[in-house]
Amino acid sequence: MMNNRFIRQLTVPEFGENGQKILESNHVGIIGCGGLGSHLADFFVRMGVQTLTIIDDDCVELSNLHRTALYTEKDIGTPKTTTLSKHLLAINPRLKIHAHTTRLTAPNTEQLLASCNIILDGTDNIPTRYLVNELSVKHHIPWVYAGVYSTIGMILAIIPASGPCFSCVHPTLSQPSETNIPVIGHLPAAVAAIQCSEALKILLGTLSPKLIIYNLWTQQIDHLDIQKNPDCPICCKQQFSYLKK
Amino acid sequence: MHLTITLHGRYKTLAGSSQLKITIPDNATIWHVIDTFIHQYPEVAKDKSRMMVTKNHSYVSPDTPIHKTDSISIAPPLVSGG
Ligand SMILES: [Zn+2]
């Protein structure tokens, strides 16, 4: 049965049986269970991830439903983590899922994520990404940043040992003042799909990370080659100010 | 000095090209590049403090001096929605 389950992706040359084995043996962490995070969890569990950590402190709201995977109107008011777990276990009852209904903060970040082999970003704020970046560098765990705005998505795979970290790309980015940012409903699924590809290539060891800027409306895709900053306080000097807060 | 900078994302769409020729003082810093770009495309002014500028493929702060042989690129700020 298991072979039948994945037969259609085992025959994809870029992925194959090796990719399947790697996917099934790695522990994936997803931070945030909204637009990006719900699609990421759905993709990874359907593709064969066996061990998953999900983290979010919010409940499902009506205004989430246009851009999220799996949630329904019946789920409104329930914690995203427990509800997403329920849907994911319906896809694969053998899934080992660690669902944490909490906000990721400096005191709990290492405890919740240090055992992951790769981390996927589904958060909605910049400070959490700096926190995850520090964890990534300190514990040598790759992660894949992604963000969405309107019809645009940005994605960057971060492999701290070999490439630029999030702080190398922008060391002092502030949180935008705008609240309720515009996001067209099908954008998070598209961006999460790209993020998923980047994560798979990290696990397979075939990725050359570049910042990807994708416009879902115009179908333009742009790649930026950004190098490690030799003066980066995080990945070159190991100064972890967010983890110490 | 004359410089051709590379634009990314919606900046490229806005300019209709990935390349933009600008003229800045010989002792210019990245600030001059940003200000010249905003002068030409005022709609990007709201991004001023957050836009991502690289020199020779590395992020640089706006106070960084530039030389005519440097490769400069500008991209919109990293987006944060999830
Ligand atoms: Zn760095």
Mean pLDDT of A90-105: 98
Q: Which residues lie across from A123 on neighbouring strands? A: none
With contact defined as beta carbons under 8 Å apart, do B21 and B13 qualify? Answer: no
Residue in chain B closest to A212 (alpha carbons) equals B9
Q: Is residue A239 part of a domain?
A: no
The domain that holds A65 is classified in CATH as: 3.40.50.720
Which chain A residue lies closest to B55 (C-alpha atoms)? A226
Quote the mean pLDDT of chain A. Answer: 96
Q: Give the pLDDT band of residue A1 (cuts 50, 70, 90).
A: very low
Q: Which domain holds residue A77?
A: 10-224
Mean pLDDT, range A83-95, rounded to an integer? 98
Residues of A in contact with B72 (CB under 8 A): none
Residues of B with CB below 8 A from A129's CB? 80
| CATH number of B2-75, picked from 3.30.1960.10, 3.30.930.10, 3.40.50.300, 3.10.20.30 | 3.10.20.30
Low-confidence ranges of chain B (pLDDT < 50): none
Q: Is residue A2 in a domain?
A: no
pLDDT digits (tens, 9 = 90+) for A7-28: 999 999 999 999 999 999 999 9
C-beta of residue A36 within 8 angstroms of C-beta of residue A192: yes
Nearest Cα to A222, choosing from B70, B3, B76?
A: B76
Q: Are B30 and B55 contacting, i.e. CB atoms less than 8 angstroms apart?
A: yes
Residues A156-215: tens digit of each pLDDT:
999 998 999 999 999 989 888 888 899 999 999 999 999 999 999 999 999 989 999 999
| Nearest residue in chain B measured CA to CA from A226 | B57
**Cross-chain Cβ contact B50/A176 below 8 Å:** yes
Q: What is the pLDDT of residues A61-81, one digit of tens each?
A: 999 999 999 999 999 999 999
Domain range summary for chain B, segments of one domain joined by +: 2-75
Residue at token pair 């954008």 = A187
pLDDT at A60: 98
Determine the distance separating the centroid of ligand 1 and the alpha carbon of A157, expressed in angstroms: 13
Is the pLDDT at A104 greater than 80, yes or no? Answer: yes
% of chain A beyond a pLDDT of 90: 92
In a domain, A133, yes or no: yes
- Residue A245 forms part of a structural domain: no
With CB atoms and an 8 Å threshold, state whether A173 touches B50.
yes
Helix (H, G, I), strand (E, B) or coil at B73: strand
A132 occurs within a structural domain = yes
CA of A150 to the centre of ligand 1 (A): 28
Closest CA–CA distance from residue A17 to any residue of chain B (Å)? 32
The ipTM (two decimal places) reads 0.92
A125 touches chain B (CB under 8 A): yes
Identify the sign of the CA torsion B39, B41, B42, B48. negative
- What is the residue type of B31? W
Q: Is residue A103 part of a domain?
A: yes
**Whose CA is closest to A87, among A131, A125, A52?**
A52
pTM of the model: 0.95
pLDDT (tens digit, 9 = 90+) per residue, A135-153?
Answer: 999 999 999 999 999 999 9
What's the distance, CA A88 to chain centroid? 16
Residue A5 lies in a domain: no
Number of domains observed in the structure of chain A: 1
User: Best mutation site among B59, B60, B72 for testing chain A: the one with the most A CBs within 10 Å?
Assistant: B59
**Spatial contact of B57 and A126, defined as CB atoms under 8 Å apart:** no
